[in-house]
Amino acid sequence: MIIGFVQTKGGTGKSTLAVNTAFSESMNRQFPSIALVELDPQGTLKSWWEERDDMGLDPGKVSFHHISSTQKEVFQQGIKSISDFNELMIMDIPGESTGKLHTRFACAFCDLVIIPMRMSTNDESAFMSNLYPIIKEIIRAVPEKKGQFHVLPVFTHPLLNSRHCFDYFEDILPPQISCLPAVFPARTVYENFNRKGFNLNEYAKLVESNKKYTHQVTKAIEDIEKISQTIISIGKECDDSK
């Protein structure tokens, strides 16, 4: 299965979601090999992975791949090669205000496209202007891609009723796009966990003597596991419908 976290604007949590779903217990139970792939030329995840190496942290089933090329044929070949040797590939797609080469490729190539999106008119407008036209074009060319595009509500208030989020997106999204039955709440721990190359589970061990931090990271891990389980379930539904 190939999953892409895609959004044309930056700062929507794509990298945090890609990293932690790759290392989630749910994904690691389901898939024997997992590739975490960064297409962002800036290499934010590449620097994070290098910190992991320096710290001697165990990657487990997860391998990391950074493809910095903006030449279509180069990164296409690289991704296809990686997918041949991994049961699961999770791609972190850079935000792209112009060109949208990586975005177009991910929308066409991935089995599931997860679109992190806030409940805001600004995000709605940006989605309809920048990402939705690409999705429409792809579905028009390949009708069986319909059902593979899903919005994930992000930075929601931790106490907000999730049903309110789902109703919001069901009202505004076009019929080709659905809303995942999971949310990514706003939590301070998501801004701090990745220092020195940690993932959430490793950070939890680091702060286990602090009850406050332990509570925060435990809730964050629960968020990620729910999102991962939802993605696995949706992926199985897509496979069954083929």
Distance of alpha carbon 139 from its chain centroid, rounded?
21
Radius of gyration of the chain (CA): 17
Contact 135, 107 (CB under 8 A): yes
pLDDT for position 148: 95
pLDDT for position 222: 98
Residue ranges of alpha helices (H) inside 31-148 are 44-55, 72-84, 101-109, 121-126, 132-141
Tokens 């074009």 belong to 137
Contact 40, 10 (CB under 8 A): no
Handedness of CA 56, 51, 200, 1 (dihedral sign): negative
Long-range contacts formed by 25-30: CB under 8 A, 24+ apart:
25/201, 25/225, 25/228, 26/225, 26/228, 26/229, 26/232, 27/88, 27/228, 27/232, 28/60, 28/61, 30/88, 30/232
Contact 100, 134 (CB under 8 A): yes
3-state DSSP helix/strand/coil % of the chain, to nearest 5: 55, 15, 30
Residue type, 145: K
Task: Report DSSP state, residue 69.
Answer: -
- What is the separation, in whole angstroms, between the first and last Cα of the chain? 13
Q: What's the token pair of residue 37?
A: 């792939």
Domains contained in the chain, CATH given: 2-241 (3.40.50.300)
- Exposure string of 173-184, with b = 16+ CB inside 10 Å and e = fewer, is beebbbbbebbb
Q: What would you measure as the largest C-alpha separation in the chain, in angstroms?
A: 54
Identify the CA nearest to 28 among candidates 95, 109, 86: 86
Per-residue pLDDT of the chain (242 residues; tens, 9 = 90+): 999 999 998 889 999 999 999 999 999 999 999 999 998 888 899 999 999 999 999 999 999 999 987 788 888 888 889 999 999 999 999 888 767 888 999 999 999 999 999 999 999 999 999 999 999 999 999 999 999 999 999 999 999 999 999 999 999 999 999 999 999 999 999 999 998 899 999 999 999 999 999 999 999 999 999 999 999 999 888 776 66
